[in-house]
């Protein structure tokens, strides 16, 4: 299947808009250097697994954060709000596989779904799992992710069977090595995540307009102080900083398309002042909008 870069667009709910594979094979392979490509906070029905090929990534799933080193992997459960950032250094290469649970689970009345997929998806204590080598089966999990990715990219004869086999092995490993005392998130953490999704939806719908913390808080019917606390505890930034990051990312996508000027891209993404747009873009991307457009435009 075609290989895609990470950084897919999200809809007004912060939900990933990308179609991962097809209805016949709901599975996608992705590659990216997260030191260069922004991965926004997002969520999707599909499960996600990744292996860090070079560097170290900071992957956050809900309220959990993992430092994933080269050769290690991670699993993100269905419906979990998450993002990936580089820890440090000039490069952080990651291979992702994203797959719908039905690829492994089949019909809703199958033993695979009722005994394995459904309990795993419903486990609030396993929003994310870090395969860091602390347990012997972690290497098997990383190998399963790698095999699925390699088969999806290379498409050898019968690759669809091989992809499903590798992902089935990953799911079985997760289900058969469930922690004896997995602690689910508190009701407060679950409430915060729900509020964050609501506020991200509002920001996605209005990022090109003038936004204040008060506007964002009102969208979730909370106070400004509660809005700030929720953002800091859940996605570790302020609402306005998130708005700036989103605007820059949206502008970068427009610049990379090569269809509009720097001034047009900035204005469409909420930057009324061109010099402020250039300053903010350089701070977050390490180069000016013009240089980014010249380097990435297709």
Could you report the per-residue pLDDT of 188-203, keeping only the tens digit for each?
877 888 888 889 889 9
Helices (H), 177-238: 187-206, 213-219, 224-234
Helix, coil or strand: residue 94:
strand
Residue 274 token pair: 């061109």
93-127 pLDDT, tens digit each: 999 999 999 999 988 888 999 899 989 998 888 88
pLDDT number for residue 38: 72
pLDDT number for residue 106: 87
pLDDT number for residue 164: 96
Helix, coil or strand: residue 81:
coil
Q: What predicted TM-score, i.e. pTM, was given to this entire model?
A: 0.72
pLDDT number for residue 86: 84
pLDDT number for residue 182: 56
Q: Which of 6, 27, 198 is nearest to 84 (CA)?
A: 6
pLDDT number for residue 294: 86
pLDDT number for residue 297: 67
Residue 228 token pair: 């700030």
Please give the span between the terminal C-alpha atoms of the chain, in angstroms, as a whole number. Answer: 21
pLDDT number for residue 249: 84
pLDDT number for residue 123: 86
Kindly give the parts of the chain with pLDDT less than 50: 1-4, 7-17
C-alpha pair distances (Å), 186 with each of 1, 220, 261: 40, 19, 47
């Amino acid at each position: 299947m075609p290989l895609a870069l990470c950084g897919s667009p999200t809809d007004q709910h912060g939900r990933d808009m990308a179609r991962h594979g097809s209805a016949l094979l709901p599975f996608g392979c992705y590659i990216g250097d997260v030191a260069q490509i922004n991965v926004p906070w997002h969520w999707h029905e599909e499960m996600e697994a990744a292996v860090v090929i070079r560097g170290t990534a900071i992957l956050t799933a809900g309220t959990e954060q993992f430092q994933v080193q080269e050769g290690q992997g991670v699993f993100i459960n269905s419906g979990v709000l998450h993002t990936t950032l580089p820890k440090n250094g000039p490069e952080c290469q990651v291979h992702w596989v994203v797959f719908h649970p039905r690829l492994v689970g089949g019909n809703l009345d199958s033993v695979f779904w009722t005994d394995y997929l459904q309990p795993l998806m419903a486990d609030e204590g396993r929003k994310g799992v870090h395969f860091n080598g602390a347990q012997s089966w972690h290497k098997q999990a990383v190998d399963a992710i790698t095999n699925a990715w390699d088969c999806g990219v290379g498409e050898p004869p019968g690759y669809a069977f091989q992809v499903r086999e590798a992902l089935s092995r990953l799911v079985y490993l997760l289900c058969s090595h469930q922690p004896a005392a997995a602690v689910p998130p508190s009701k407060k953490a679950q409430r915060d995540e729900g509020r964050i999704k609501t506020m991200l939806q509002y920001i996605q719908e209005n990022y090109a307009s003038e936004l204040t913390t008060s506007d964002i808080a009102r969208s979730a019917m909370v106070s400004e102080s509660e809005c700030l606390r929720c953002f800091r505890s859940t996605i570790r930034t302020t609402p306005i900083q998130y708005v700036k990051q989103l605007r820059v990312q949206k502008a970068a996508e427009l610049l990379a398309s090569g269809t509009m000027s720097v001034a047009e891209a900035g204005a469409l993404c909420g930057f009324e002042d061109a010099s402020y747009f250039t300053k903010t873009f350089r701070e977050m991307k390490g180069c000016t909008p013009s240089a980014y457009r010249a380097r990435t435009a297709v």
